[in-house]
Chain A
């Protein structure tokens, strides 16, 4: 029976060490990832591996309540992906909208000429605020 216990210990310790190394590689991917989506994917993978580590500790230590922590960690990891995605997409769309408005008003001022600068700027402001359809609420 003792050999079985030691076999369980060796297996769990080895798997935990391998998963820790993989989490470090995930962190490396998150650091060097050239785009934002790379970093979010790496964070998601780290969450998955931490879930497996907590589940292994559940069986290794024989503590049933760690399974609840595992489940809640899965939910929080999912929520983190949703929130990060929404935030980055909202920031991007807002910046794009602002840039398009600035470009449109600049174009109108150039085309209307120098004689009626006040009228032209007022008109361009109105047009810029009402005429431009930027997005269809895709957030």
Chain B
């Protein structure tokens, strides 16, 4: 029975350490990229994959009970909230950056009719 406990500890520790590694990669990306919209790409990784791995490892260690259900609810909530907040931050950046044309190109999908579909190449 003790072997089972050790296996559970090792599985949980593997998930938890994988999550911490994802957080480290996120931080490296945030410091290496040059622009906010690139940094956001790295920062969104920790919001979904990093916290997912960490909380999954904690669920494995904790066993199946109400606390684990609440931790799983945190993961589900972040799955929904992280894309929304990323979208809002990106829209703030695109709106407020006066000379953003050097950094990115904005394609306005609302004002282009179907003719752009023919012009677009692969």
Contact = CB atoms under 8 A, between A and B. Distances in A.
Interface of A: 1, 4, 7-8, 11, 15, 18-19, 22, 25-26, 29, 33, 35-38, 40-42, 44-45, 48-49, 51-52, 55-56, 58-59, 64, 67-68, 70-71, 74-75, 78, 81-82, 85-86, 88-89, 92-93, 138
A1 B2 contact: yes
| Chain B interface category by residue count | 35 or more
Contact of B36 (A35, A49, A89): A35
A52 B54 contact: yes
Given A15-B16, A37-B93, 12 more contacts: A19-B23, A35-B97, A41-B39, A52-B51, A71-B70, A71-B77, A74-B74, A74-B77, A81-B85, A82-B85, A85-B89, A85-B91
B43 A44 contact: yes
B36 to A, nearest CB: 4
B92 A70 contact: no
Contacts of A93: 95
Given A15-B16, A89-B92, A55 B58 contact: yes
Contacts of A56: 16, 54, 58
A68 B70 contact: yes
Contacts of A15: 16-17, 20
B96 A25 contact: no
B27 A25 contact: yes
A84 B70 CA distance: 27
Interface string B35-60: 01001100100110011001100100
B96 A78 contact: no
